[in-house]
Structure 1
Amino acid sequence: MTARSALRRYVLVCFLTWLPQGLMMPSMVLLMTARGLGLAEIGLVVTVFSVVTVSLELPTGGLADVLGRRVVLAASAAFLTAGLALMSVATTLWAFMAVSVLKGVARALSSGPAASWYVDTLHRVEGHDADLKPGLARGGATESVALCAGVLAGGALPLVVPPELVFPLAAPSLAGAVAAAGLLAAVLVALPEPPRGRASLAGVLRGVPGTVAAGLRLAGGGALLRRLMAAAMCSGVLLFAIELLTPGRLAELAGSAEEGGLAYAVVAALGFAGSAAGSALAPRAARLAGTSARGAIAGAVVAALSVGALAATSGLGGAAGLASAAGAYVVLFAGLAVTSLLALELTHRAVTAAERTTVTSISSLSQQSGGVAANLTLGALAAQAGLGAAWGVAAAVTLASALLFVRMPAPTGSSRAPALLARSGSD
């Protein structure tokens, strides 16, 4: 396999992984509202998703390092297909909680294996000195394009599907289930791996805890990885605040649930377009700033200022409110994408293939932990003090995260060659 072929396969899987997420996003909160759930119950459903994901991040990351990337990604696609299919027919709190469990398992299984497969393959083809930024940037931009296309389609579907055929707000999750089934087929065909030998269930179960423990020691023992995990937690606060607070705000501005779903789809699509641009520009940002760490600082500052703009304009209504949200979204996601992409590159450069997915799962766990904190605090803060206060807290957390990249230390704890470690530490 060539580097170009590996990149094409990685980009395809990135697109199909995030297309179902984009399809369900505009209507998820509105669907639960339409079926009788209150804001507190919706927050509980979202928290269940986060808790399940956090609980399984490390075991599933270790499973991917022991058993293989492809089988874990295929299992993720299967769980996601089941979860979105159930979501389209769920009508009770318990059913939506079951959906969150299935989606949480799928999310935990999908955290890291695709990128790990690409990095491992590129290292086999071009060696450990291969430049990871261009390929990871292409994958990140593709994920954002998939989300952009998905939210536009998911926002429009409730307005065009015949009500007698399917409940309008359930149509996006049903389409997402079909897209997830397509991901399952693509993963099985497009991601070949070197033979790992036959592994018994007992052997796998014995190997996972050791891999997880090694990943935890590596992530906790090196100052660089500790900082990257803290930065991921801060990004989780911001991302989950957006997911929790924005749909209701835009529905209020638009005037109805269906029109609010379309408004959210358009605004979110603009944000994901900004994210795609930020991912594509991340390598250039690192060059202009001098190092990947400095480029990440610039991205975090831009994102924080954009969230501050959301807070400052939270009292606007009508077209002005929609326009300000759209503009802030574009810049916010562009800045966040620059920081996230460069943090991902720094993470992959600090670890070896043996613990690669485990460590990226620890990063995802950190992000989910930040999301749990946001769900439990920012929703209540917004209800009591207004959206501006909640956005202000998210802006402060994001700005503080930029400090984590200042004087980024050299990586430690990896079994990489010393020369490669020295080169990575230059950032």
Structure 2
Amino acid sequence: MMSPRSALRRYLLVSFLTWLPPGLMTAVMVLLMTERGLSLAQVGFAVMVFSIVTIGLELPTGGLADVIGRRTVLAISAAFTVAALTLMAISTTFWMFLATGVLKGVARALSSGPATAWYVDTLHDLEGPDADLKPGLARGGAVESVALLLGVLVGGFAPLAVPPAVMTPLALPPMLGAAAGLVLLVTVLFALPETRDLEEHSRRVGARPRRVGRSPGRAIGRVVRDVPATVAEGVRLAAGGPLLRRLMLAAAASGVALASVELLTPGRLAALAGTAELGSTGYAVVAALGFAGSALGSTIVPRVARAAGGSVRGAVAGVVLTALAIAALAATAGLDGAPGFAATGLAYVVMFAGLSVAGVLCSEMTHHAVTAAQRTTVTSTSSLSLQAGAALSNTTFGTLAAQAGLSATWSLAAGVVLVSALLFVRMPALRSARPAP
């Protein structure tokens, strides 16, 4: 019989393996595409396609997980990851990289939420609806950050170990990512049994996820009918409830914060380093520091919540810390050389720590407010809100930075994030949506 500790170990393992492949390919993705002949405009378009596919599929795939099961959707996501990163390693044309972006977008959308939903449902089954979610969710966030940190460092240095005569050095990290995706696929299939609550819900709505393999045609038809209804129910829940509506807006503000640094920092560091190559290396180190800060933030979430007097006040502390870090980037935008790199690295550590604190506590509040039937759909809605905030920022911050400078752009981003702290003022009372047994 599974214990809470066993469920946590499985959740942490799957979380690590889910985020390791993206980390491995992050450091070399742009360089690989440009080395194989793509212009920066084509690179940008391929990345945009990834974002569009992810946004478009967030809610349908969340509903799919709530209908056919977390394990099945995570296994499909792992298969798409293997295909995407294998194709990336051998791609030589713009259209091949475009297809890679589509596959990565599908994989990302499918992986958004099911692992966390599985852990929350399992813990509720084992300990009841009042189970403390903070420690497990905090460790999950920390493990995800560690996976990204290790991935970006390994991916950044692995090409140095490959002679060009053997293979294209920059193709090694995505191949390693594909191998990690294969390990994830096997792990998911054997380590994540479906929870009782999901099965009971599936029988109640008629989805019967366990019978997919016995009658494929009828099962697929049931899934197609059930997914839109589940998505609609989740959207109504997220948009109609005052608590969830505020949490979705907070997620959008987090997207603004992330976009402001991911879009503008690489160019800033390239200018400091003097060349794009050295700037890319510097960005890999700074990004790794950010992931370390994220892991630290996730680890201290329970302590922050206790010190602040609850999850809501703890989330406010995380949001304010994030805003202050971005404001520090704005204030140090004029620094050159080593001081500029040091200031950027320190701001990244603080900002990602704040984002993790706020993110984990908002996730806890979200999971307490929904039932197993809509858990992954609502989680996907939160991810969609974050990406919508990032997409809106990407369309404006680049132009603003060119016209008004980095300091003004980061100041605006810091202001938006700071204002979002008001969303937690007089937060509606949290009542568990889980029905009594």
TM bin, normalised by shorter chain, reads over 0.9
For 2:307 and 2:55, the matched residues in 1 are separated by: 36
1:206 aligned residue: 225
Q: Does 1:323 align with 2:342?
A: yes
Contact 2:368 2:432 in 1 (8 A): no
Q: Where does 1:129-140 land on structure 2 (aligned, <5 Å)?
A: 129-140=130-141
2:259 aligned residue: 240
Q: Does 1:100 align with 2:101?
A: yes
Contact 1:240 1:375 in 2 (8 A): yes
Alpha-carbon spacing, 1:137–1:412, altered in 2? closer, same or farther (3 Å) = closer
Contact 2:372 2:434 in 1 (8 A): no
Identical residues among aligned pairs (%):
65
Contact 1:159 1:258 in 2 (8 A): no
Unaligned runs of 5+ in 2: 200-208, 213-218
Q: Which has the larger displacement, 186-195 or 329-338?
A: 186-195
Q: Where does 1:352-371 land on structure 2 (aligned, <5 Å)?
A: 352-371=371-390
Q: Does 1:231 align with 2:250?
A: yes
1:193 aligned residue: 194
Q: CA deviation at 1:27?
A: 1.9
Q: Does 1:217 align with 2:206?
A: no
For 2:172 and 2:271, the matched residues in 1 are separated by: 22
Deviations 1:231-257 (A, max 9, x none): 111111222332232233323333444
Deviations 1:187-212 (A, max 9, x none): 11111114643141111111111111
Q: Does 1:334 align with 2:353?
A: yes
Amino acid at match of 1:185: V
Q: Where does 1:253-332 land on structure 2 (aligned, <5 Å)?
A: 253-332=272-351
Alpha-carbon spacing, 1:23–1:329, altered in 2? closer, same or farther (3 Å) = same
For 1:297 and 1:124, the matched residues in 2 are separated by: 30
Q: TM-score, normalised to structure 1's length?
A: 0.93
Q: 1:401 aligns with which of 414, 417, 420?
A: 420
Q: Which has the larger displacement, 171-180 or 240-249?
A: 240-249
After the TM superposition, which parts of structure 1 deviate over 6 Å for at least 4 consecutive aligned residues? Answer: none
Deviations 1:3-57 (A, max 9, x none): 0000000000011111111111122233334344444433322222111111111
Q: CA deviation at 1:369?
A: 0.9
Contact 1:81 1:176 in 2 (8 A): yes
Q: CA deviation at 1:73?
A: 0.4
Q: Which has the larger displacement, 62-71 or 381-390?
A: 381-390
The SS at the match of 2:300 is helix
Deviations 1:284-305 (A, max 9, x none): 1111111211111111111111
Q: Where does 1:112-127 land on structure 2 (aligned, <5 Å)?
A: 112-127=113-128
Q: CA deviation at 1:160?
A: 2.9
Unaligned runs of 5+ in 1: 421-427
Deviations 1:364-416 (A, max 9, x none): 11111112112222223223333323322221221122111111112579454
Alpha-carbon spacing, 1:413–1:134, altered in 2? closer, same or farther (3 Å) = closer
Contact 1:27 1:172 in 2 (8 A): yes
For 1:238 and 1:9, the matched residues in 2 are separated by: 31
Q: Which has the larger displacement, 53-62 or 88-97?
A: 88-97
Q: CA deviation at 1:350?
A: 0.2
For 1:2 and 1:16, the matched residues in 2 are separated by: 21
Q: TM-score, normalised to structure 2's length?
A: 0.91
Alpha-carbon spacing, 1:368–1:180, altered in 2? closer, same or farther (3 Å) = same
The SS at the match of 1:249 is helix
